[in-house]
Structure formats: structure tokens, C-alpha cells
Structure 1
Amino acid sequence: MSRASPWTPANLQPDCREDKKRRLPQGHTGEVNSSRSAHEDLDDMFASLSIDSVLAQENSGERPKDRKRKSCQENAGNLTNALPDDVLENMFASLSIDSRVTSTASMRSGKGSFIILDDNILAGGNSDCTTTSTDSRRPRSEVFIERVNDLLLRHVGTRVRVFEIRFDLNSTHAAHLDKWVQFASEAGAQDVKLSLCKNTTSCPEHFVTANRYNFPLHCFGDGRQRSSMRKLDLTNCIFTPPPDSGAFSSLVCLYLVRVTITDSGIQNICSCCPILRHLRLARCDNLVNVRISHEVLICLDIFRCKKLVSVEIHATCLLIFEYDGREVHINYASTPSMRFLVNKFGHQNGYLSDGVEGMKRIRKITLTFLWPSEKPSYTLYAIKFTAIQFINLFILPSWNNVRGVAYLVKATPYLKRLRLEARSGDHHYRDDVQVSWPEGISLKRLRFITVGGFAAQAPLVELLVCMVHAGARSRRTYLQIDPHHHLCKGLGRWVREDVGDKPARDRVREAARETLRSRLPPSVKLVIK
């Protein structure tokens, strides 16, 4: 960094480096989360996947350290495609977890310090920041800024790996935030996170829209020099990346939550972040028509951007795409490597578009059947999707919806696992309704059916009976019934909700035994949780 550090004190003494330990707070240091090392390994893996493509463009000679790193990355470009599906899924699940390090100070590690600036600074547990009786009468933000400034002053010259700010700040505090971000840049921080909200939740929209902090891109170079940052996580900020900049060429993961960014800003990200692997856009309400064009992007997550109309994806290495929000047009223009697809429309039924036909490696999908459509478009499933082996469905168990599910499983003849999460329990079993199922359903490989939120709904019962009879009777099939509702945490990771009336769940279990056990083939094992 060419500019002088804003943190160099005027009266710095020559012997200030005699004891570096004095720069580290000795008070409230907290404990580093045990998962941090796993996150470091994942970040290192992501950084190595295609960093060689960036190094190859550099004209300068390689240092011995660079040659060693490059030798370990020689064949990393195809690493993710060679991984088993379960390993790949767990890897991304771990990477997306929002790890918390409850420390306001920093902890030493072999790769640098962790600096976490949050509410703990105000708790008075840090011995370097003296607590006075007047602090309680001052604004929280004023006390926080003063203590952060004091803490960072003691860290001048310290190598930093993780730098996080989690506090309710906005554009009125820009002068201080700019200095802190520049400190992170000059300290070589690889993981930078700004969560500028209160108590880890988003501030009121009318407030943050007018007062969001504009992330200072200039702190990471003028475009000719790459920064060391590999992961950037912003909440309640403004992010305006330039069309051509080398400042973020080392960025591997980018998470934007309630961030003000435009459609052109997303295209600029794709052009100036050549080794970006994971992109998350959550509640970015200025996005309308998003076009993602990236050669090495692996995971794309778009979550509840309320003005979004369309998404177009050109990403030949993309393995995972998760969408959750209003119904939009999604064009899978070029996604031949896709393995996992999550498409959760909030108030409409999900569907498989024609683009899925070109995904020769697609194995797992998550869709919604949450709208009791009177005339479902069964023609959407006229094509056979032979690669799909796992299906997760949120379903409102109306008769038309369960027929739609039947046509979906007919289009996926190699299905191995099916999970249904019923979102309504007010449809009780009746035996006076007849429904015609699609002909030619063959589920010879279906071995596991799991149903959450089961309440003996008549349409759902009939659908289960239809599917188990369509499977091969010579091999064991497991049907698991659970009256509890579940939440999907992404990529098919389900968490049980232990709410509701226990006697009512007991009645559902008894109804499941009465309505299902006698109608199942001998090859089906019924498990009621």
C-alpha cells in the first residue's frame, strides 16, 4: 500500500516493537470457535482451485514460495468435479455457516490474528479500554468507536487474518469505518466482514436505505495492485465495484446481505473477480435483471431480492444454485456441470425448466408445490430427467399438487430418495375420493421416502401408496413418517421444529398406522417417528 498508514501515532517511540505481546489485549479474548480451522482449510482449498490462472497472467518471476504453492495447485481446477456428492455437499454446507468468534480482541495463530469488533467491547471486559462511570451516559456508538480506535492503535504492524465489525453503524460513522477498513487492508486481512446492524439483525429498511455505509473500494488499491482479501462479507452497506479493477482479483467468496448494488455492479463483480467461487446475494432489493457470467464460479445463492424479475446464468463450472424468493424467470443458459438445484418460490409452485435438460450431471433438486393450482402444467415433465436421484419438495397437499408430484417422479425414473415436507395439516384422510394417476410410472430405484409434517392428509396418503406400488417389490423400500415440521437450511439439510401439540402428533401416528400399514406391499418397511 503506497499511502501512509492512518494508524501511525505521531509520538511513536523507537522501542515500540520490543514486546509485540503488549499490542495484544490481555483481557477479554474469548475462545476461537473450533470450526475456524475447518473454515480456513476450506478457504485455502477455494483459493487454490484456480489461483494458478491468475498467477499465469503475471509477468514477474516466481518466488520459491510461489512455485511451491503453484505445484500444489497444478491439478486443482478439476478437484470439485472429482469429489463425491456427499463430500461436496458437506463442504459447501460448512462453508456457508456463519461462524461466530466471540472475541473483541485478537487471538494469535500461525497465519495471523483474528480481530472481532462487537458488543463485547462495551462490556468492559477488555483491560486495554478503561471503563468509566461516564461511559454509561454516552451514546453506545461513541464509546464503541473510541474503544475500537484504541484497540487498533495497539495492533499497528500486526498481521491480521480475520477482521470483523459487528455493530450498529452507518454512513454517519464513515470517517471511522474507512480508517478501520484501511487498517484491515494494510494488515493483510484475508477474511473481512462488516455486519452493520443491531444485534445481528437488519435495521429498519427506511433507516438503512438512506444511511447505508459505502464500502471504500479505494482502500484495497487503485486497481494495479491485488489485495490479499479472499473473503468479503457485507451486511447493510453500499457496494459499487468498478468495471475493471485488479483490487479484488484474489476474492474467492463474496456474501452480500441487504447491500445496495445494481445489475451492472453484479456484472462488474464477475469481470473483476476472476477466481470467485461462491457468490451470495440476499435481500439486495435493487437487483432487477441479474446476469451471471463467470468461468469458475461454483456456488451461487440468491435469496429474497424482492424486486428481482429474471436471472440468467452462464457458468460452466457452477455446481450449486440456490434460489429462494418470489417467482422469477430463471434462464440456465450454460450450466452443464450443475449437480444441486434449489428452487423455492415463495407463493408459487416450482418447476423444472427446459434448461435442466442440459444439466447432464444434475443429481439433487429442491422444489415447492405450495399453490393449489387448479390446472397444473403437467407438460413441464414430458422430458425424462435421468440424472436426478434425489428430490426434496415443499408441498401443500392438495389433489392437484400431488398429481403434479406424480408426474414429476414419472419424469425421474432413476430416483433413489424422495423427501416431502407437508406445509398444511388440515386435510384429513378420506376414502371417498378417486384420483387418476399418470400411467407408466416406474420407480425401480426408489429406496427411501421421507415425509415431514404428516397429518394423514388424504391426497398425500394416496400419493405415497401410488409411489410404493410403482417401485420394485423385490427390494426393500423404506417409508418414514414424521408428524413434526422441518425447516430446510439449504442443500437438503433439514432441521426438525419441535413445536405443536404432542397429543395431536400421537393421533397422527395412529392414523398413519391405520391408513398406510394395510395398503403397503410387503417389501415396504414403514417407520413412524
Structure 2
Amino acid sequence: MKGKGPRSEQADRFAGVVRTVLCHHGGVGVNRLFFALPLTCCCHAAELDQVMEFVAAARTRHLGFSLANNHCSEHAGPPYDFPHWRFAGGHLQRLLLCEVGLAMAPQRNLEGLAQLTYLDLTCVAVDDGGVANILSTCGALITLYLQQCQQLVRVNMSHARLRVLDVRQCGNLKSITIQSSTLIQLVYKGHKVDIKYGHTPAILKLRILFCMANECPLDCVGSAGALPNLKQLFLEFPSPLHAATSTQLQGVQHNCWFAGLNQIVLLLKTPWKELISSVAYLLIATPLVKELRVETYSNLPASPPNSLMIQWPQRCSMKKLQSIIIGGFSGEPELMELTFFLLQRSPALRTLAIDTHRRHLQPGYKAWNREACLKREEAEDHVRCYYARGVAWTDLVPKIQSTVKFTIL
């Protein structure tokens, strides 16, 4: 944002509006406030301090404070430091910060945040010690989101009440160590890191979403016995899994890491071709799985596919598998072969759904609900969907048992 450019002038107008609004408000009874303006610490520090004084005086319980797009090339400097010490009354319960700093000065503790139950830090300048300080001070914390916090390197998560931990795109992160008997959901998205499950007996939902090619999310699912109560597993694969040489998959199979797992969702970002058999091996390693969902993102085949030489596992049966969903189907031969194989080896199968629409796992956009869900792609290739439905009706339907309910979308 240039000093005298149109965006700078717009920010100055915003700052003027902020001053006017705060001057005409009594400052009481503001239970929830969301402040999101492209103001900068270098140019609008006084206005930002005024906002924080107002929020503290109003005893606001739910606060969202975002300075996104606040980059000022002419006055580069550190981000605005969130003044947590102003909230010494401990009335804040939910806090969302974006593009600010969260410094831990020795003379100023975090008592103002002690009653937080929800904390969302996005692009916040906070280091490992800062996160440790937050966890030790915020004893009531239930949900913690850390997204694009680039100062984090080795994070230790030890907490007595935390239930949801979501860490995404922290580019310098190397390891996460977790000690929590209450944590029920863990989400990690980014590059490969070392996730150490020191004590995590309560985790029910695990989502490991990798973005770098040739990295395997199974590397981050823990060792034998680390997740005894895991029920739902989301894995995003940027590259195919090689079942024959995968030490991760062999470990899952031999150690029965997921004895209680009943739902698997696989996001396959690239075509797997012959390596689609790895999905079958994963199911063998998780014998109690009842639902399998595979989301794919291939395009319409440019030419008739060659025959695939897929080596399927022998003498196996998915005895508990009841539901299969193939999403983003584009008529891929390997997905057809996978479906044929599972139809033959799943005696308890009750439903089969082929969805030609692509769906992406995206976080929620509500200020206080970032729970990710599979959302349908808005711009779709109708030719691809039409072709895929034709392939399914022609080649798949004749092989489906009468006991299986079939749906195509």
C-alpha cells in the first residue's frame, strides 16, 4: 500500500470512520466485535490502540481482529502487537487474530487471555515459546487454530482441556509434540513434519493433508497404540502410495494401529494408475472400516486408456465394509477396477455411490467455526461429468449385486 496511493487514502478514510464510531459509542454492552480493516501499525497505531481500549472497556467476550492486506511498502515495519494485557479482567472467551503480533514480554503475562475457550491465530507473529505460554495460561482453552504462523518450529502441545487442534501451512515447522488426554480432533496441513503422539488416547478424528509431492501422510499417523480410539481418518496424498515398498503401510498392517477405525476418506490429488491397489492394502490393514470415501481430481482422458496391470492382494476380504463413495469420478479405469475388486471382496456392502462432481476439503469461513468439510467445486466440466456417468452406467452397473444400493450423481 503506497503512502499516497488510493489504497492508503482508503485506509485513512477507514481510520477516520473508526475514530468517529468509537467516539459516539458508550463502550458498554458490546458482546461480540469483529474488526477487519487494512490498517497498518506504521500509519494507524493510534487508531488501533483506540480500538483495543474500546474493546477492553466494553468487556467484549468474542473478538475478531484482522489487519489482513495491511502491507505498507513505504513504511515497512513489525506488525501491530496485540495488547493482550489490556484484557486483565479475563472476560475474553473467543479470540481470532490475523496479521498481527503476539509478543510475550516478560513483564506482561497472558492473564487477560486466561478464560479463552477458542483461539484462532492466522499469519500471527508468535513463536514456540509464545504457544507454550498460551497453553500454560489458557487453562480453559478447547479449540486452537494455528495457520501460516511462520515463526513456529518445534511446538509442544501439552494441555488438560484442549479438544481441537488445527495446524496449517506453517512453513518453518519441523515437529509437533502432543500431550493431551482430552484432544479428540487433530488436523495438520502442509509439508511433512514429525508429529509425536506422546499421550493422545482420546483422538477420534485425524486429518493429515500433505501438499508436497512424494510425501506420504501415513508418516504422520503415529505408531502402534498411539491412537487407540481413532474412528475417522482423512488422508490427502499429493503423490501415489507405493504399497509394495511402503514401510508406513506395512507398519499399519503388522501393528494394527487403527483397530477401531470405521471411516476412511482419501483425497487423491494425482492419478494413481496401477498403484490404486494401495487403497485395498490400506483397507486390509484397517479391518473394521465400514465406510470408504475416495475423492479424485483427474481430467477427462485425452485418449482411450491402455489396459492396466494392477496387482491386487490375494485371499483378502473387507468383511465390515458397508459403504463406498467414489467422488470426482472422471471414468478412470483404475477407479473402475478398484470398484470391481471391492464389490467382489466386501460381503457386507450395502451402498455404492459414484459422484462425478469434485469436492475439496475446505475450512469453514464463519468467524467462530473453522471446521473443514468437503465442498462441491463451483466451476465444473459438464462434458467430463457426462462422460463419467456414461462409463459408470455402461461398465459398472451390470456388475453390481442386487443387494447393493447404487447411486450416481
Length-normalised TM-score, structure 2: 0.86
Q: Does 1:318 align with 2:183?
A: yes
Letter of the 1:450 partner, please give it: I
The corresponding residue for 2:14 is 144
The corresponding residue for 1:236 is 99
CA distance in 1, matches of 2:8, 2:186: 46
Secondary structure of 1:358's aligned partner:
coil
Check conservation: 1:257, 1:284, Cα contact below 8 A: yes
Check conservation: 1:299, 1:319, Cα contact below 8 A: yes
The corresponding residue for 2:328 is 453
Residue 423 of structure 1: which of 272, 289, 297 is its match?
A: 297
Residue 360 of structure 2: which of 483, 487, 493 is its match?
A: 487
Secondary structure of 1:214's aligned partner:
coil
5+ residue gaps, structure 2: 1-5, 364-370
CA distance in 1, matches of 2:216, 2:147: 21
Secondary structure of 1:464's aligned partner:
helix
**What are the residue-to-residue correspondences of 1:216-235 with 2, within 5 Å?**
216-221=83-88, 226-235=89-98
CA distance in 1, matches of 2:186, 2:20: 43
The corresponding residue for 1:153 is 23
Pairwise CA RMSD: 2.6
Secondary structure of 1:210's aligned partner:
coil
Residue 54 of structure 2: which of 183, 187, 197 is its match?
A: 183
**What are the residue-to-residue correspondences of 1:305-384 with 2, within 5 Å?**
305-347=170-212, 348-351=215-218, 353-355=221-223, 357-373=225-241, 375-377=245-247, 378-382=249-253, 383-384=255-256
Check conservation: 1:240, 1:261, Cα contact below 8 A: yes
CA distance in 2, matches of 1:207, 1:420: 48
Compute the displacement of 1:242 (Å). 5.3
Secondary structure of 1:513's aligned partner:
helix
Compute the displacement of 1:336 (Å). 0.6
Length-normalised TM-score, structure 1: 0.68
1:386–1:479 CA distance, 2 compared to 1 (3 A): same
The corresponding residue for 1:514 is 394
CA distance in 1, matches of 2:115, 2:7: 44
The corresponding residue for 2:367 is none
Check conservation: 1:332, 1:356, Cα contact below 8 A: no
Compute the displacement of 1:217 (Å). 2.3
The corresponding residue for 1:300 is 165
CA distance in 2, matches of 1:438, 1:209: 59
The corresponding residue for 1:443 is 318
Check conservation: 2:128, 2:152, Cα contact below 8 A: yes
CA distance in 2, matches of 1:355, 1:141: 51
The corresponding residue for 2:376 is 496
Compute the displacement of 1:245 (Å). 3.7
CA distance in 1, matches of 2:13, 2:309: 69
CA distance in 1, matches of 2:23, 2:342: 66
Letter of the 1:518 partner, please give it: P
Secondary structure of 1:213's aligned partner:
coil
Secondary structure of 2:384's aligned partner:
helix
Q: Does 1:393 align with 2:286?
A: no
Compute the displacement of 1:478 (Å). 1.3
Q: Does 1:194 align with 2:74?
A: no
The corresponding residue for 2:368 is none
CA distance in 1, matches of 2:329, 2:289: 21
Check conservation: 2:233, 2:261, Cα contact below 8 A: yes
Over residues 335-379 of structure 1, what are the superposed CA-to-partner deviations in whole Å (9 max), with x where a residue is unaligned? 110011110011233216334733222110100233135543331
Letter of the 2:26 partner, please give it: V
Secondary structure of 1:163's aligned partner:
strand
Letter of the 1:370 partner, please give it: P
CA distance in 2, matches of 1:196, 1:159: 24
Which runs of 4 or more aligned residues in structure 1 lie more than 4 Å from their structure 2 counterparts after TM superposition?
A: 202-209, 426-431
The corresponding residue for 2:3 is none
Secondary structure of 1:404's aligned partner:
helix
Letter of the 1:364 partner, please give it: Q
1:452–1:204 CA distance, 2 compared to 1 (3 A): farther
Q: Does 1:467 align with 2:342?
A: yes
1:376–1:359 CA distance, 2 compared to 1 (3 A): closer
CA distance in 2, matches of 1:255, 1:306: 17
Larger Rg: 1 or 2? 1
Compute the displacement of 1:523 (Å). 2.6
Query: Which stretch has the larger CA shift, 489-498 or 443-452?
Result: 489-498
The corresponding residue for 2:366 is none
Letter of the 2:228 partner, please give it: K
Question: Percent same amino acid at aligned positions?
Answer: 27
Q: Does 1:413 align with 2:287?
A: yes
Residue 80 of structure 2: which of 207, 213, 217 is its match?
A: 213
Letter of the 2:29 partner, please give it: R
Compute the displacement of 1:186 (Å). 1.6
Compute the displacement of 1:405 (Å). 1.5
Compute the displacement of 1:218 (Å). 2.6
1:310–1:208 CA distance, 2 compared to 1 (3 A): farther
CA distance in 1, matches of 2:16, 2:385: 54
Compute the displacement of 1:452 (Å). 1.2
The corresponding residue for 1:169 is 39
1:356–1:390 CA distance, 2 compared to 1 (3 A): farther
Letter of the 1:416 partner, please give it: K
1:209–1:316 CA distance, 2 compared to 1 (3 A): farther
Check conservation: 1:376, 1:400, Cα contact below 8 A: no
CA distance in 1, matches of 2:75, 2:67: 9
Over residues 406-464 of structure 1, what are the superposed CA-to-partner deviations in whole Å (9 max), with x where a residue is unaligned? 11111111111111111223667757333222235332222221111111212222122
Query: Which stretch has the larger CA shift, 143-152 or 410-419?
Result: 143-152
CA distance in 1, matches of 2:71, 2:36: 16
CA distance in 2, matches of 1:209, 1:274: 36
CA distance in 2, matches of 1:248, 1:387: 37
CA distance in 2, matches of 1:271, 1:331: 19
Check conservation: 2:274, 2:310, Cα contact below 8 A: no
